Structure 1
Amino acid sequence: MYRKELDSLLQKFTPKASLLYGESIFLIKYYSDKIASKITTSSNKTTFYYSDYDFDSVMNLLGQSSLFGDKNLVVLKLDKKLSKKETDSMFQAIALNTQNSLIIEFYQSESKSNAEYAQDFRNFAAGFKNAQLGKDVIEVRFFNPSFYECIALLKERSNNLNINIDERLLGTILTIQNNDLGIAYNELEKFTLLDSSPTIEDVQRLCYGLGSVSIEELYDAIFDKKNIFEILERLQEEGLDELQILREMERYFYQLFLFFAYIKSYGTPNAKDILGFSPPPLIVQKIAGRSIRIKEEGYRYIFEVFRKWRNANMRGEKNMVLNALIKLQAYIR
Structure 2
Amino acid sequence: MYKNEFDNHLRQNTKFNAYMFFGQALFLVEQYALDIANSCGTKDEIEKLYFDDYDFKYIKNKLLQSSLFSSNNVVLVKLEKKIPKKDVEALIEACNINPDSTIIFSCLGDTEFKTMAGYFTSKNNSASVRMFQPSDTEAIRILEKEAKLLNINYDMQALNHLYFMHKNDLALCVNDLNKLSILDEKITSNIINIHCFGIGAVSFEEFLNNLLLGKDISDDIASLLEEGMNEVFLLNQVTSFVQQLFMISAYARAIGTPNPKEILGFIPPKNIWDKKCKLAINIKPEVFQKMLEFLLNIELELKSSKIDNSNLYIQSCLRKFTVLFR
Q: TM-score range by the shorter chain?
A: 0.5 to 0.7
Alignment partner of 2:223: what SS? helix
Tell me what 2:177 maps to: 188
What amino acid is aligned across from residue 300 of structure 1 in structure 2? I
Tell me what 2:4 maps to: 4
Tell me what 1:129 maps to: 121
Question: Is 1:297 matched with 2:218?
Answer: yes
Superposed displacement of residue 300, structure 1: 2.6
1:109-132 CA-partner distances (Å, limit 9, x unpaired): xxxxxxxx53x433212222363x
Tell me what 1:206 maps to: 195
Tell me what 1:96 maps to: 97
1:245-280 CA-partner distances (Å, limit 9, x unpaired): xxx6xx14243x54466578779xxxxxxxxxxxxx
1:143-180 CA-partner distances (Å, limit 9, x unpaired): 10000101111000000010121122101100000111
Identity over aligned pairs, percent: 29
Contact persistence 2:75–2:103 (CA under 8 A): yes
Contact persistence 2:45–2:70 (CA under 8 A): no
Superposed displacement of residue 27, structure 1: 0.8
Tell me what 1:44 maps to: 45
Contact persistence 1:91–1:130 (CA under 8 A): no
Tell me what 1:306 maps to: 227
Question: Under a length normalisation based on structure 2, what TM-score does the superposition of the two structures give?
Answer: 0.64
Superposed displacement of residue 196, structure 1: 2.3
Alignment partner of 2:48: what SS? strand
What amino acid is aligned across from residue 121 of structure 1 in structure 2? F
Alignment partner of 1:13: what SS? coil
Tell me how far apart the structure 1 counterparts of residues 162 and 229 of structure 2 sit (CA, whole Å): 24
Tell me what 1:62 maps to: 63
Tell me what 1:86 maps to: 87
Tell me how far apart the structure 1 counterparts of residues 18 and 76 of structure 2 sit (CA, whole Å): 10
Tell me how far apart the structure 2 counterparts of residues 263 and 44 of structure 1 sit (CA, whole Å): 52
Within 5 Å, give how 1:1-333 maps onto structure 2: 1-11=1-11, 12-108=13-109, 117-118=110-111, 120-129=112-121, 131=123, 133-134=124-125, 137-208=126-197, 251-255=199-203, 257-259=204-206, 296-307=217-228
Question: Under a length normalisation based on structure 1, what TM-score does the superposition of the two structures give?
Answer: 0.62
Alignment partner of 1:101: what SS? strand
Contact persistence 1:176–1:254 (CA under 8 A): no
Superposed displacement of residue 69, structure 1: 4.2
Contact persistence 2:63–2:102 (CA under 8 A): yes
Tell me how far apart the structure 2 counterparts of residues 172 and 308 of structure 1 sit (CA, whole Å): 20
Tell me how far apart the structure 1 counterparts of residues 59 and 226 of structure 2 sit (CA, whole Å): 34
- How many aligned residue pairs are there? 229
Tell me how far apart the structure 1 counterparts of residues 22 and 208 of structure 2 sit (CA, whole Å): 33
Contact persistence 1:14–1:38 (CA under 8 A): no
Tell me how far apart the structure 2 counterparts of residues 261 and 3 of structure 1 sit (CA, whole Å): 28
Contact persistence 2:153–2:187 (CA under 8 A): yes
Contact persistence 1:177–1:184 (CA under 8 A): yes
Superposed displacement of residue 57, structure 1: 1.5
Root-mean-square deviation (CA, aligned residues, Å) is 2.6
Superposed displacement of residue 67, structure 1: 4.5
Contact persistence 1:21–1:141 (CA under 8 A): yes
Tell me how far apart the structure 1 counterparts of residues 66 and 208 of structure 2 sit (CA, whole Å): 59
Tell me how far apart the structure 2 counterparts of residues 54 and 34 of structure 1 sit (CA, whole Å): 23
Superposed displacement of residue 297, structure 1: 2.9
1:62-101 CA-partner distances (Å, limit 9, x unpaired): 1211345432211111122222211121122112211111
Contact persistence 2:33–2:104 (CA under 8 A): yes
What amino acid is aligned across from residue 225 of structure 2 in structure 1? E
What amino acid is aligned across from residue 116 of structure 2 in structure 1? F
User: Structure 1: where are the runs of 5+ without partners?
Assistant: 109-116, 209-247, 268-291, 310-333
Tell me how far apart the structure 1 counterparts of residues 69 and 228 of structure 2 sit (CA, whole Å): 45
What amino acid is aligned across from residue 98 of structure 1 in structure 2? P
